[in-house]
Structure 1
Amino acid sequence: MKSPLNPARVDFVTLKLFCAIVQSGSITKGASECNLALSAASRRISEFEETVGMALLDRSVKGVTLTHAGHAVMQHALRLFQGFEQLSNELGEYSKGVKGHVRLWANMSALTEFLPSALASFLKDYPEIQVEVEEQLSGDIVRALMDGIADIGVFAEGPITTGLETHIMGKDQLVIACSKDHPLSKRKSISFEECLAYDFVGLNRGSSLLELTSRSAEKLGKQMSLRIQVRSYDAMCQMIAVNLGIGVLPIQACAAQIKAMSLKAVQLEDVWAKRNLLVATKAGINHSPATKLLSQHLLG
């Protein structure tokens, strides 16, 4: 029987390299991020796996992925780095004000509508806190919070949030956007089921909004006719403006584009068209002071 892992044989440079490789999906990229030669990085990972006594990475021509054992190592490594980051943040609280670094992941609606003014006022009050913002899909935000890659997530309700502490930040009203020449432009409100008779413009696969509308169509025993899929609300509005289809959009986030492109916003009558926008952090851990401050600020 193999003896337990000796912590003294695992150094932080190797752990940092391991995390960089996993997050980039490539040993080459991970080595570059850690300023190591590829040969040195490969040797460190091989020696790490030998120390552990099992493979941590599955290697292929497409890159690397985690084995089951690798997942366990990744979780513990992230917790270690999070602990050191928290220690650094707490030691950095001096008379000049709170210092720290917060990784904030948010979906497109939150970044467009809620976060600009909230972040501006927060950073004015706490100029020595660095907020690293990334736009991501709601499902990816949940996974990043659970994996310790993000500190705070802001996203529309829908994904399963088990293991997270969530609070409602605001409301997200969905509407049907169509061109002024579209048959639906004369309507003031409409059910989603009626809309399924027409072609749609949607976001790319993986979007929480696409998942929500597709799932709603399936519950009605129908399918959405997606004529085209794009990556942003702005692109959706442009396609809708030239009559390539109608689209489901959050009115608060897209009001400017809808007005600028002379689109018509028709209210959706379905209950699910009124979504909550959530602020979430991982439950059961002691977050850094900077993370706690930003979370409280976003919730008003």
Structure 2
Amino acid sequence: MPDLFINPARVDFTTLRLFCEVAHAGSITKGAKRCHLALSAASRRISDFELASNATLLERTSQGVILTPAGHVALQHALRLTQGFELFSDELHEYSKGARGHVRLWANMSALVEFLPTALFAFLEQFPDIHVEVEEQLSGDIIRAVVDGVADIGIFAAGLPCHGLQVAPYRADQLVILTPNNHPLAERDRVDFRTCLEYDFIGLNRGSSLLDTISNASKKEGIALRLKIQVRSFDAMCEMIAANMGIGVLPLGVCARRLQAWNVKAIPITDRWANRRLLIATNSTREISSSAALLVDRLKSNATC
């Protein structure tokens, strides 16, 4: 490898910035002032820079300084280096304050459908250099993922053990009975869950916190849940209900805008458990990244329960 003409160890970014300011101002005095350096220190740095370059970069006159041909070349490279360093510094600062980074967010279906699209859109508009990786998962799996460090942030329904997590309330989630418009329950404006247990249900797959909720509620009533069909999504539940296959419990926000299209009715459930809470959680034993902390703060600022 050939020897370098200029030893990088003899040139620092303070000197490069000073040289750029001196060249633009046409004065070592003015350049020193802009860099907050004493005139003697600035003059010494410029002389050392010329010595390290083995070239005369500035022509001294009674009116100030003028760039020599070598000085013009030096200025072009000094500008590139100082601008590159400033960009490097700015980007690292953005990482340090969280404005850049990667966040893994796991949420249950209810949060993902009802609340997160608007919240994430606003967040990513403000922080476009943060990549948020979102996964829809069952509440129990979300808790395990946050505990194990697979997910940075989790949003799930309250009621499950949260050991190892730092949790905060996020949103209220009103559950309703969804029925076909020609169902006997469709004549009601409100209904208790015990009455609903007389009919066949469409439910989510096992492991869903919503399925656990209605299963536990049926056990407390002492009536077996007549679970006719299990599906993987709210949309599939609604399609089955619209086809008169049964009734189902869903969050109101998931189905409210599509009741007419599906020809179904949402009936409020009078039982207390039907007003459930969604929680936002992080690992209580691991410090989250600055980017994840920014997203948590934004989500908490939008909390309504």
TM-score normalised to structure 2 length: 0.67
Deviation at 1:166, TM superposition (A): 1.0
Mapped pair 1:209 → 2:236: no
CA distance in 2, matches of 1:92, 1:147: 29
Where does residue 107 of structure 2 map in the other structure?
Answer: 106
SS at match of 2:253: helix
Unaligned runs of 5+ in 2: 1-90
Where does residue 248 of structure 1 map in the other structure?
Answer: 249
> Structure 1 residues 286 and 194, CA, compared in 2 at 3 Å: closer, same or farther?
same
SS at match of 1:276: strand
CA distance in 2, matches of 1:189, 1:129: 44
Aligned counterparts, 1:116-127, within 5 A = 116-127=117-128
Letter in 1 for 2:144: R
CA distance in 2, matches of 1:103, 1:204: 24
Deviation at 1:106, TM superposition (A): 0.5
Mapped pair 1:146 → 2:147: yes
SS at match of 2:142: helix
Mapped pair 1:190 → 2:191: yes
Q: Deviations over 1:190-244 (max 9, x none)?
A: 1111110100011111111001100111111121101111111111111101111
CA distance in 2, matches of 1:95, 1:270: 47
Aligned counterparts, 1:78-89, within 5 A = none
CA distance in 2, matches of 1:283, 1:95: 21
CA distance in 2, matches of 1:172, 1:96: 33
CA distance in 2, matches of 1:99, 1:179: 47
CA distance in 1, matches of 2:176, 2:194: 13
Bigger Rg, structure 1 or 2: 2
Where does residue 75 of structure 1 map in the other structure?
Answer: none
Where does residue 283 of structure 1 map in the other structure?
Answer: 284
SS at match of 1:281: strand
Where does residue 258 of structure 2 map in the other structure?
Answer: 257
> Structure 1 residues 222 and 289, CA, compared in 2 at 3 Å: closer, same or farther?
same
C-alpha contact (below 8 Å) 1:92/1:100 kept by paired residues: no
Letter in 2 for 1:163: G
CA distance in 1, matches of 2:187, 2:162: 39
SS at match of 2:206: coil
CA distance in 2, matches of 1:154, 1:95: 25
CA distance in 2, matches of 1:212, 1:148: 26
CA distance in 1, matches of 2:234, 2:144: 23
Letter in 1 for 2:159: G
SS at match of 1:190: coil
Mapped pair 1:297 → 2:298: yes
CA distance in 1, matches of 2:162, 2:216: 18
Larger deviation: 92-101 or 159-168? Answer: 92-101
Where does residue 71 of structure 1 map in the other structure?
Answer: none
SS at match of 2:133: strand
CA distance in 2, matches of 1:127, 1:299: 20
CA distance in 1, matches of 2:150, 2:166: 16
CA distance in 1, matches of 2:143, 2:238: 27
> Structure 1 residues 99 and 178, CA, compared in 2 at 3 Å: closer, same or farther?
same
CA distance in 2, matches of 1:94, 1:235: 41
Letter in 2 for 1:151: D
Letter in 2 for 1:93: E
Superposition RMSD in Å: 1.7
The alignment of Structure 1 onto Structure 2 pairs a total of residues equal to: 211
Unaligned runs of 5+ in 1: 1-89
CA distance in 1, matches of 2:237, 2:246: 9
Aligned counterparts, 1:164-179, within 5 A = 164-179=165-180
SS at match of 1:150: coil
Deviation at 1:95, TM superposition (A): 10
CA distance in 1, matches of 2:96, 2:281: 30
Deviation at 1:286, TM superposition (A): 1.5
> Structure 1 residues 198 and 151, CA, compared in 2 at 3 Å: closer, same or farther?
same
CA distance in 2, matches of 1:95, 1:210: 42
Deviation at 1:167, TM superposition (A): 1.1
CA distance in 2, matches of 1:201, 1:253: 15
> Structure 1 residues 104 and 228, CA, compared in 2 at 3 Å: closer, same or farther?
same
Runs of 4+ aligned structure 1 residues displaced above 2 Å come to 90-97, 256-259
Deviation at 1:158, TM superposition (A): 2.0
Percent identity of paired positions between Structure 1 and Structure 2: 55
C-alpha contact (below 8 Å) 1:176/1:246 kept by paired residues: yes
Letter in 2 for 1:184: L
C-alpha contact (below 8 Å) 2:99/2:129 kept by paired residues: yes
C-alpha contact (below 8 Å) 2:96/2:290 kept by paired residues: no
